[in-house]
Amino acid sequence: MTDPLSYLPLTEPTFYILLSLAPGKKHGYAILKDVRQLSGGRIRLSTSTLYTAIGRLLDQELIERLDEEAQEPGPGLPRKSYALTDLGRRVLEAETVRLQGMVREARLRLREGGA
C-alpha cells in the first residue's frame, strides 16, 4: 500500500532507467545503451549514474534483481539482470501522469503569455 506518488518526482535518469525496463528485464549495460537509443542519443548515462541509481531503486523496491542461472558466455563481467516490480511500474505510470499534467499546464500558460 505504499503510495506511488510518494516516489515522485523522478529525475530524468531514473525515469529513463525505469522506462527502459518497462518492456522486460535487462542488465545494467543494456539499460545504458537502450536509454541512449530511446532518447535519440540525447541522454548518455554515465556508469556511475546508472549503478548508483540501480542501487537506490533496489532499496526502494522499484526494481528487483533476477537470479541468473547459466549465462551464455560473452564479453565483460558477469551480467546482472533487473526487472520492474509492480510498484515500480505504478510509479512509472504515476510519473507519466504527472509529466502530462506539467505539459498541459505549460501549454496553457505559454499560449496566454506568448508574443
Partner DNA sequence: GTATTATATATCATATAATGATATATATTG
Partner DNA sequence: CAATATATATCATTATATGATATATAATAC
- By CB under 8 A, name the binding residues for its own copies: 9, 11-12, 15, 19, 22-24, 38-39, 89, 92-93, 95-96, 99-100, 102-103, 105-107, 109-110, 112-113
Strand partners, 64: 83
Least distance in angstroms from the C-beta of 42 to its own copies: 8
Name which of DNA, its own copies, none residue 66 binds, using a CB cut-off of 5 to 8 Å depending on partner kind: none
Name which of its own copies, DNA, none residue 37 binds, using a CB cut-off of 5 to 8 Å depending on partner kind: none
Largest CA distance in the chain: 62
Give yes or no for residue 42 binding DNA (CB under 7 A).
no
Separation CA 77–CA 98 (nearest Å):
37
